[in-house]
Chain A
Amino acid sequence: MTQAVKPRDNRAWYLVAPVMVSIVFTAVIPLMMVINYSVQDIFGQSRLFVGADWFNKTLEDPAFRGSFLRNLAFSIQVLIIQIPLGIVLGLGLPKKGWRSSMALVLMAMPLLIPFNVVGTIWLVFARGDIGLGGYFLNNIVGLDINYAQDSFDAWTTVLVMDTWHWTPLVALLVYAGLRAIPDAYYQAATIDGASKFAIFRYVQLPRLRGVLTIAVLLRFMDSFMIFTEPFVLTGGGPGDTTNFLSISLAQLAQAFNLGPAAAYSLVYFFFIQLSCFIFFTILKRF
């Protein structure tokens, strides 16, 4: 009764199958369709193979380049502002007791609001005539804010809105990272006579590396794909000032320019993948 064949059990694949199927339907098939569209000219029922034409057009298109650079500038500003601000807030959050719970709840509020509602809130809040924020800045501080007409004001408003919306995420990640540092590390640093800054630099920062990597990645990707809030607030205007990649892509697709829109999406998609990869590789080294 020797068993010549070792018992091998492949039943585990059945458990993975539902996930595989859903990935095929939600990701693989749509992606294949987009690739298919991107190399054809589609108009009604007629289709024409055009090869890389749409890709060339997209890459040469000044509007695409403009949006691309605008997006890049926006993401960089988002990271420069939100990461340090998130760290400062995370460090400042109370550590225990009811104050801690309360601060966490308040902090998490913006994250729970649907994106289009965020846009709507700021649409009203930043108005110079009836919005609380806009009115305050214009009539009490004495500025002249008008995001609907002034391009600098529009850009700044979108940036401030995004910061209000997403910095809490960074702060919460940092807070979680800080909680994971055992008390002994702080105690040791105090005993070693380390200053507050030295504690931050040598105890907290090295141990926040993991969560900060995630925070930078998430914030970069989300800000690079930003759509709903500026769409509601400014609709990409005034002019093209806040016309991000996703907004112009939506306009393109809505006009049934399926071929160019598909090529546009693929270039966009490729760039996001590439930058994620680069970020991850760089951050992993530290």
Chain B
Amino acid sequence: MGLELQGITKAVSGEPWLYGIDVTFERGLNVLAGPTLAGKTTLMRIAAGLERPDDGKLILDGEDLTGVSVRKRDVAFVYQEFINYPSISVTKNIASPLVRSGDFSEQQIKDRVAELAELLKLGPYLDRLPGELSGGQKQRVAIARALAKKSKLLILDEPLANLDYKLREELREELEAVFTQEDAIVLYSTTEPQEALAFSSHTVIMNEGRILQMGPAITAYRQPGNATVARVFSDPPMNLIPAKQAGSQLVLTGAAKGPRPQHFHEIEISDLLIGIFPHQVKLERQSIDDFEVVGRVALAELTGSETFLHVQTESGRLVAQLSGVHTRPLDEEVRVYLPSTALFAFDSSTENLLRSPEVSDFAHG
């Protein structure tokens, strides 16, 4: 059951855009995460029937839908842009899919609109035209309209991308509640790993037309199958440093060597790519085994609650994610510490994950 995509390929003007995608989306929320041009939108458009795959099949609850026109499918789509009917009221916008289908009585339509208006906090604006609403409200209307018909398949293509961050936060929380209420297969795409992690749902990570990894978002984050996942599914991206193992020592490029981390002891390959999440990079030494890297401040990006300190070092540019606001002058010398217990090891030739640090398992409540 669910939506099954089998060997979907697609080329856009001769260039391969999707390479044999095999994935099944179950009922509930499925997040498609990946940078721009990963192929998320194309895959969603194929899933909706707006585009036809060059090859492969699309099966919804056992029924082959490949080649079935989008008009004959039970699907709703929300775009990045706020798309509404400009000349009719919010009420009529939300009701439009129900009215068009002709299967609902006036009372049913009224009830459903009221229910959705409540769910998406549109009560006070029902008589307005979309042009008289703010960006966040416009997108709420578009989402309400998509939900109206209770389609089997609900697709949202980066629905929050064009909103201010405050509205994004607010709407994301509400959407989470909405998705749990609806009995639909929901596909939701985002370029932000943080968003996928906040939804804590089944996540499919894509890059350059391929699926890199699937599973719960937090697992993909903690156990990235290869260095690309680690880079793509972390914001800021995971720091990666080439390194060599020599006896009981681990030598990072451009950094002092240190004792080989405990959890690396079974690795026999000597050429490694060492990874460390920005939030694990510290400005103070925590343990004698920490790797010390000396560099200069390239930039302190302040996000409000956090600081992304970009440090130019012999090992390349490292980013440290620090809690709170830390202003730092450019070019100031800074020492950063990489705790050996927080290091990931990737094979430097295949870039596949060899070892990840042990995380004291956090029990979900």
Contact = CB atoms under 8 A, between A and B. Distances in A.
Contacts of B64: 1
Contacts of A3: 57, 66
A142 interface: no
Interface in A1-42: 1, 3, 6-7
A151 B30 CA distance: 82
Nearest to A7: B67
B55 interface: yes
B49 to A, nearest CB: 13
Interface in B321-357: none
Interface size range on B against A: under 10
A8 to B, nearest CB: 10
Contacts of A1: 64
B40 interface: no
A195 to B, nearest CB: 38
B152 to A, nearest CB: 21
A283 B52 CA distance: 40
B74 interface: no
A209 B21 CA distance: 45
A267 B179 CA distance: 71
Interface residues of A, number: 4
Nearest to B54: A6
A7 B57 CA distance: 12
Nearest to B53: A6
Contacts, number: 8
Contacts of A6: 54-55
What's the dominant secondary structure at chain A's contact region?
Answer: loop
B228 to A, nearest CB: 31
A103 B250 CA distance: 79
Nearest to B52: A7
Contacts of B67: 7
B340 to A, nearest CB: 52
Interface string B58-88: 0000001011000000000000000000000
Contacts of B52: 7
A205 to B, nearest CB: 34
Contacts of B57: 3
A3 B67 CA distance: 11
Interface string A81-120: 0000000000000000000000000000000000000000
A248 B164 CA distance: 69
A6 B11 CA distance: 14
A52 B54 CA distance: 53
A122 to B, nearest CB: 47
A149 to B, nearest CB: 62
Interface string A242-256: 000000000000000
Contacts of A7: 52, 66-67
A9 to B, nearest CB: 9
Nearest to A1: B64
A1 B66 CA distance: 12
Nearest to B64: A1
B133 to A, nearest CB: 26
Contacts of B66: 3, 7
Contacts of B55: 6
A3 B53 CA distance: 13
Interface string A145-172: 0000000000000000000000000000
A160 to B, nearest CB: 47
A3 B54 CA distance: 12
Contacts of B54: 6
B231 to A, nearest CB: 35
Interface string B248-260: 0000000000000
Interface in A55-98: none
A3 B66 CA distance: 10
A149 B64 CA distance: 83
B57 to A, nearest CB: 8
Nearest to B55: A6
A7 B52 CA distance: 9
A240 to B, nearest CB: 55
A6 B54 CA distance: 8
A244 B190 CA distance: 66
B55 to A, nearest CB: 7
A12 to B, nearest CB: 13
A3 B64 CA distance: 11
Interface in B1-60: 52, 54-55, 57
A251 B54 CA distance: 60
A64 to B, nearest CB: 48
A115 to B, nearest CB: 40
Interface string B190-201: 000000000000
8 contacts: A1-B64, A3-B57, A3-B66, A6-B54, A6-B55, A7-B52, A7-B66, A7-B67
Interface of A: 1, 3, 6-7
Interface of B: 52, 54-55, 57, 64, 66-67
Given A3-B66, A6-B55, A7-B67, 5 more contacts: A1-B64, A3-B57, A6-B54, A7-B52, A7-B66
8 closest residue pairs by CB, A with B: A7-B67, A6-B55, A1-B64, A6-B54, A7-B52, A3-B66, A7-B66, A3-B57
